[in-house]
Amino acid sequence: MSKELIRLKDCVMAYDDGVVLDHINLYINDKEFLTLLGPSGCGKTTTLRIIGGFLTPTSGDVLFDGVRINHVPPHKREVNTVFQKYALFPHLNVYENVAFGLRLGKTVTNVVNGKSSAKKVKIPEAEIHKRVMEMLEIVNLKGFEKRSISALSGGQQQRVAIARALVNQPKVLLLDEPLGALDMRLRKDMQNELKRIQQEMGITFIYVTHDQEEALAMSDTVVVMDGGRIQQIGTPEDIYNEPKNAFVADFIGESNIIDGIMRADEVVEIFNRKFRCLDKGFDKDEPVDVVIRPEDVDIVAENQGQLKGTVTSVTFKGVHYDTIVDFYGFKWLIQTTEYHPVGTVIGIHLDPDCIHVMKKSEYSGMFGDYSSYSEEYEEIGDADYEPEEEENGHEE
Amino acid sequence: MKNKRSLLAIPYVGWMAFFVVAPIIMVVIYAFTTADFSFTGENFTRMGTFTVIFTRSFKLAIIATLVCLLIGYPLSYAMAKEGKGFQRVAMLLIMLPMWVNFLLRTYSMMSIMENNGLINQFFAAIGLFDLINNVFGTDIHYFKMIGTQGAVVVGMVYNYLPFMVLPIYSTLIKMDNTLLEAAQDLGADTATVFRKVILPLSLPGILSGVTMVFVPSVSTFAISRLLGGGIQMLLGDLIEQQFLGGAYNPHLGSAIALVMMVIVVACMWIMNRFGEGEEQAVML
């Protein structure tokens, strides 16, 4: 069974101009692939830098294997980082970049008369060579040893950065938006490759991204963050199927988020109509947010539907049509393989298991209406929509 | 006519042709001829006479360059790491003397270091000489500074330090901070980060700083004239004498200038070979 490796206890990171992390509690298991997911400025990079040792939390504790490491400097942590812009050493070639950590020697702890002392021991050149070559093979860069860093493509630099970190056999690898600078195709390939490397080497990966698709595709556990707080922790399936609040529902995939009222256990009222659902445990007549995923809505004939609406826009997406339907002034996104021209009045049918009820939160009413559909699609669909991390301002 | 924009360089090319290339050709011609312009190698065979001056010039220039590096590197490093406020003040203090005329600056150095200059007056005022005389039974009333090689080096460092600081500072300030974090992350402590990342990446700045201090130092004549008290003659003084002084012999002067130029170019070439691998670091 996997055991707990890292724990953040009540971590707060505050600067003069505001709180970046607001009481973060998080544990990470050994050999887990955990993703910190959230929009720019949500605190995900700050969390990663606290684990890496580049920042010390204002309050709270960082535990590694049960030992408090708040003030342990980065070079003494069994953690290595793949930086956002790779941060390869331009004065060294591929081989020397990868060998950098090994050349610094390994730490050997001696226990003499009950006192333990750590010292660095040089690794023999033959072993360095063997490990560097092995690692270059794992990242598919054999034959590139002598190349200068500036002669590599983005994808190749990315691989060198991963090899340079992994060759030290860290317990944990931290990855800060490592695929952000790559094009779509390469990003997909690297996703598979990272997952493969993680499983082959059995190392804990902590991965930071703002790309929800990437997070869902790669992770064992996803941590959704916003405004310096953790919004939800769960498996990719949990996060998608059972979002905790409107923010998570909106950030992960497409969602119609509608105001509803819980009339009884397993009965929710939307647009003055009662629907059967699977959620219970709410107060009677409690106002709630209702999430309906666009692909879960069945379009039926006008007179057979539970609700009736008018199609206001249709966009062909290849596999399906994105159809925007107006229900009493609130616009839904429905993804369907059938074509319904603009102006058609249609009915919809909702199965109980496609209605997900959430408690009201500070995010209620902010998302879920597709009236301004086109702009919102840009924002969600384009991973490069946010070019710079706002958090960087605090790191100088 | 492939690239019309290269036409923009014509004024510069003309300038260089008249004021750099032509003079160098004239120096070469003068160096290999006698007063009536017949070919001779005699000017070079006489060079041995000036070994002392050659040695002194290069020795003092190397010392001044090293001192500039030892003062300039930590200063540049501090400026690059500290906040904007420190940066601005330090930069102002470095640039301020450069806005004062070179000769004026050197004259003022002279008056500060004279036998009855500011420094000696200060020592006298605090009773330092009395103390020394009492303890050692000597009879001194000032430290002799003008006319020593130390004074010449101080003058060189004072005048040329900014040329060391600026290029080093500019490579350090441009350095990507994540590279330092990456090195730490891979297990390097502060000293190792400096040795394995910061120092090699700032080497281009060091090389250009060294060049910019060494070359004017080795060929200076005003500093040695004023602060060396006419005793510590350098190559610059020697050459000047051949053209303007009593020993008027522009042919010999040209030969000395040519030899000096060859040695300096050779030094620079070797040094740049040494730093070649780092060049891409500047470009990145």
Q: Is A391 a domain residue? A: no
User: Using CB atoms and an 8 Å cut-off, which of residues 92-151 of chain A contact chain B?
Assistant: 100-101, 104-105, 107, 148-150
What tokens were used for A128? Answer: 């360095």
From the list B178, B184, B185, the residue facing A85 with the nearest CB is B178
Q: Is A251 a domain residue? A: no
Q: Is A249 a domain residue? A: no
Model pLDDT, residue B212: 92
- A–B interface: beta-carbon pairs under 8 A: 72
The phi, psi pair for B139, rounded to 5°, reads -135, 70
Model pLDDT, residue B174: 92
From the list A80, A91, A149, the residue facing B278 with the nearest CB is A91
Distance from CA of B162 to the nearest CA of A (A): 26
pLDDT higher than 90, residue A382: no
The position carrying tokens 């303007």 is B244
Q: Is B21 a domain residue? A: no
Distance from CA of A176 to the nearest CA of B (A): 12
Q: What pLDDT band is residue A377 in, cutting at 50, 70 and 90?
A: very low
Q: What pLDDT band is residue A176 in, cutting at 50, 70 and 90?
A: very high
d(CA A253, CA A18): 30
Residue A277, CA distances (Å) to A233, A330, A349, A356, B284 in order: 23, 21, 13, 7, 59
From the list A75, A80, A90, the residue facing B280 with the nearest CB is A90
Look at residues A231, A232, A360 and name the one whose alpha carbon lies nearest to residue A290. A360
pLDDT higher than 90, residue A204: yes
pLDDT higher than 70, residue A325: yes
From the list B185, B201, B283, the residue facing A80 with the nearest CB is B185
Residues with Cβ within 8 Å of A8's Cβ and at least 6 positions away in sequence, in order, are A24, A25, A26, A27, A47, A50, A51, A60, A61, A62, A63
Distance from CA of B274 to the nearest CA of A (A): 13
Nearest chain A residue (CA) to B180: A87
* Mean pLDDT within B248-262: 92
Question: Which pLDDT tens digit goes with each residue over B53-110?
Answer: 999 999 999 999 999 999 999 999 999 988 889 999 999 999 888 888 988 999 999 9
Contact present, B201 and B278 (Cβ < 8 Å) = yes
d(CA B1, CA B206): 39
Helices (H), chain B: 10-16, 22-31, 42-45, 51-81, 84-95, 102-113, 118-125, 128-136, 149-174, 177-185, 190-193, 199-219, 222-227, 235-243, 250-274, 279-283
Model pLDDT, residue A114: 65
Question: Which pLDDT tens digit goes with each residue over A134-150?
Answer: 999 988 899 999 999 99
Q: Is B208 a domain residue? A: yes
| pLDDT, averaged across chain A | 87
End-to-end CA distance of chain B: 32
**Residues A176, A235 within the same domain:** yes
Model pLDDT, residue A364: 84
pLDDT higher than 60, residue B269: yes
Model pLDDT, residue A396: 35
Q: Is A388 a domain residue? A: no
The phi, psi pair for B11, rounded to 5°, reads -55, -40
Q: Does A173 touch chain B (CB under 8 A)?
A: no
Model pLDDT, residue B158: 93
**Residues A111, A46 within the same domain:** yes
Q: What pLDDT band is residue A390 in, cutting at 50, 70 and 90?
A: very low
Residues with Cβ within 8 Å of A368's Cβ and at least 6 positions away in sequence, in order, are A246, A249, A250, A255, A256, A257, A258, A289, A291
Q: What pLDDT band is residue A119 in, cutting at 50, 70 and 90?
A: confident
**Residues A299, A202 within the same domain:** no
Per the structure, the complete domain to which residue B99 belongs is given by: 50-244+267-283
**Residues A52, A93 within the same domain:** yes
The position carrying tokens 């995010």 is A363
**Residues A300, A203 within the same domain:** no
CB-CB under 8 Å, B277 with A83: no
What tokens were used for A106? Answer: 């390994």
Distance from CA of B166 to the nearest CA of A (A): 22
**Residue A176: its H or E element:** strand A172-176
**Residues A216, A292 within the same domain:** no
Q: Is A248 a domain residue? A: no
CB-CB under 8 Å, A165 with B185: yes
pLDDT higher than 60, residue A103: yes
Q: Is A386 a domain residue? A: no
Distance from CA of A350 to the nearest CA of B (A): 51
Q: Is A387 a domain residue? A: no
CB-CB under 8 Å, B281 with A91: yes
A381-395, B25-39, B62-76: which has the minimum mean pLDDT? A381-395
Q: What is the CATH number of the domain that holds A329?
A: 2.40.50.140
pLDDT higher than 90, residue A190: no
Distance from CA of B206 to the nearest CA of A (A): 15
| pLDDT, averaged across chain B | 89
Mutation site, B82, B84, B174, B185, interface A, largest A CB count within 10 A: B185
**Residues A281, A337 within the same domain:** yes
Q: Is B231 a domain residue? A: yes
What tokens were used for B195? Answer: 């040795």
pLDDT higher than 50, residue A388: no
* Mean pLDDT within A344-353: 90
β-bridge partners, A100: none
Contact present, A294 and A335 (Cβ < 8 Å) = yes
Q: Which of residues A177, A205, A239 is at a domain's end?
A: A239
Residue A214: other Cβ atoms inside 10 A? 23
Q: What pLDDT band is residue A116 in, cutting at 50, 70 and 90?
A: low
Per the structure, the complete domain to which residue A278 belongs is given by: 256-381
Q: Which of residues A239, A274, A302 is at a domain's end?
A: A239
Contact present, B95 and B162 (Cβ < 8 Å) = yes
**Residues A169, A276 within the same domain:** no
Nearest chain A residue (CA) to B284: A90
What tokens were used for B210? Answer: 């060294």
**Residues A267, A207 within the same domain:** no
d(CA A155, CA A198): 18
**How many Å is the Cα radius of gyration of chain A?**
25
Q: Is B161 a domain residue? A: yes
The percent of residues above 90 in pLDDT, for chain B, comes to 57
* Mean pLDDT within A339-352: 90
The total number of structural domains in chain B stands at 1
Q: What pLDDT band is residue A117 in, cutting at 50, 70 and 90?
A: low
- Whole-complex ipTM: 0.78
Q: Is B193 a domain residue? A: yes
Q: What is the CATH number of the domain that holds B209?
A: 1.10.3720.10
Model pLDDT, residue A374: 53
Model pLDDT, residue A373: 61
Q: Where are the beta strands (DSSP E) in A213-344?
A: 221-226, 229-234, 256-264, 267-270, 273-276, 286-292, 298-300, 307-316, 321-327, 330-336
**Residues A187, A324 within the same domain:** no
Q: Please, what is the Cα angle at B270 between B264 and B272, to 5 degrees?
A: 100
Question: Which pLDDT tens digit goes with each residue over B102-130?
Answer: 889 999 999 999 998 999 999 999 999 98
A143-163 b/e (C-beta count within 10 Å ≥ 16 → b)? ebbeeebeebeebbbbbbbbb
For residue A60, which amino acid is it? G
Q: What pLDDT band is residue A115 in, cutting at 50, 70 and 90?
A: low
CB-CB under 8 Å, A90 with B281: yes
**Residues A150, A266 within the same domain:** no
Nearest chain B residue (CA) to A82: B182
Total residues belonging to chain B: 284
CB-CB under 8 Å, A81 with B187: no
**Residues A61, A197 within the same domain:** yes
Q: Is B18 a domain residue? A: no
The total number of structural domains in chain A stands at 2
Residue A329, CA distances (Å) to A271, A309, A365, A371, A376 in order: 11, 9, 14, 9, 18
Model pLDDT, residue B280: 39
Model pLDDT, residue A139: 87
From chain A, pick out residues whose CB is under 8 angstroms from the CB of B201. Answer: 90-91
Q: Is B27 a domain residue? A: no
The percent of residues above 90 in pLDDT, for chain A, comes to 54
Model pLDDT, residue B63: 97
Beta strands A345-349 and A273-276 are unpaired
Q: Is A127 a domain residue? A: yes
* Mean pLDDT within A381-391: 45
pLDDT higher than 70, residue A385: no
The percent of residues above 70 in pLDDT, for chain A, comes to 90
The position carrying tokens 């040089």 is A122
Model pLDDT, residue B278: 47
* Mean pLDDT within B154-169: 94
Q: Which of residues A209, A239, A269 is at a domain's end?
A: A239
Q: Is B204 a domain residue? A: yes
Residue B3: other Cβ atoms inside 10 A? 7
Question: Which pLDDT tens digit goes with each residue over A220-277?
Answer: 999 999 999 999 999 999 999 999 999 999 898 888 999 999 999 999 998 888 999 9
Classified as helix, coil or strand, A247 is helix
pLDDT higher than 50, residue A389: no
Burial of B9 (0-12, 13-18, 19+ CB in 10 A): exposed
